[in-house]
Structure 1
């Protein structure tokens, strides 16, 4: 029992600290400017549950993938995301207050918002440091259930924090500024991945 709790605590602490400043937080902030909070949380939670399960069962296999291939894929995905966010941010830069409110929270159905959130987060978490960390902790403690639960709780906790922050940002910052900021953040992620691919 002590080992089980230790594995859960170590997985939670390590993943929480890794994810707090990670791209997942930025993605969640963007999602909360576009959809209601509940479907975003549900979609992210399901994605994290699946990713945590994969991490503790076949996570070690991820390390066998060529780093350059993973880095190139990540760079392309973030470059596309940066382009779309910046295009939307600058296109909406001159809308009035009503237009900004509509841009912040379009009338998307619950399933659509949840599925979009799921797909975005699930794709972003592939090969992520937290996934590899969870795999390592599982190998160290041989408690896959505890590690999976700890990792999932950490990821959901970070998501809830990002949703809360996103709500405050929505109230104070126009949508186009959020999209522009997120676009530049994504461009930074893309550049870092491209540099890793070039030097890897």
Structure 2
């Protein structure tokens, strides 16, 4: 492993992921409780994506039209926005009961699924694949990218766990719906 390559990759992936939809997804998930479980789920999803990116990512993105990936991601964002809007008026007590009653394993599995889908075909995944091809050092690029992604997830989870002290669940759901519509529109525009 080349530490210089890992150190060069870390800031690129970190800065690319900071304003990303997966950071927002981690923040929202962590705001509902069990931040450590959300981080574990996000970390697992990022691990899978880094493995995919450094091994088969370059080939996949040359074979599959990026527009198809953008349309699929847009559809998922619109579905998430519709769901957030639909449940915006449920009481906070119902949410608190669900958060307390949900297992850490279920929370981690949900976070893994959400982050895995959201990250598919993402800028940082493509960048990781390109860096692995450029440096010819899959392990070094993988370690640098993974540590950057895990750091961003930690920042999001810490922010999400404190977010509920300032915002109501209803407000968070409305904001989530609006942001997801924006991400969906951007993904759809990218596909066209």
In the alignment, which residue of structure 1 is the partner of 2:35? Answer: 37
Does residue 17 (structure 1) correspond to residue 15 (structure 2)? The answer is yes
In the alignment, which residue of structure 2 is the partner of 1:60? Answer: 58
In the alignment, which residue of structure 2 is the partner of 1:171? Answer: 165
Does residue 156 (structure 1) correspond to residue 117 (structure 2)? The answer is no
Unaligned residue ranges in structure 1 (runs of 5+):
none
The CA deviation string for residues 20-47 of structure 1, in whole angstroms up to 9 with x for no partner, is 0000111001111223011111111111
Shift of 1:168: 1.7
TM-score by length of 1: 0.90
Q: Which runs of 4+ in 1 moved over 2 A?
A: 103-106
CA distance in 1, matches of 2:80, 2:102: 20
CA distance in 2, matches of 1:152, 1:51: 9
The CA deviation string for residues 74-106 of structure 1, in whole angstroms up to 9 with x for no partner, is 1110000111112222x23xx4xx627617834
Matches within 5 A, 1:37-186: 37-64=35-62, 65-89=64-88, 91-92=89-90, 95=91, 99=93, 102=96, 105-186=99-180
Measured on the aligned residues, the alpha-carbon RMSD in Å equals: 1.7
Unaligned residue ranges in structure 2 (runs of 5+):
none
CA contact (8 A) 2:54 2:132 kept: yes
The CA deviation string for residues 28-76 of structure 1, in whole angstroms up to 9 with x for no partner, is 0111122301111111111111111111111102322112211111111
Shift of 1:128: 0.6
CA contact (8 A) 2:29 2:38 kept: yes
In the alignment, which residue of structure 2 is the partner of 1:7? Answer: 5
CA distance in 2, matches of 1:55, 1:188: 26
The CA deviation string for residues 102-145 of structure 1, in whole angstroms up to 9 with x for no partner, is 17834211111111111111111111100111111111211111
How many residues of Structure 1 are paired with residues of Structure 2 in the alignment? Answer: 191
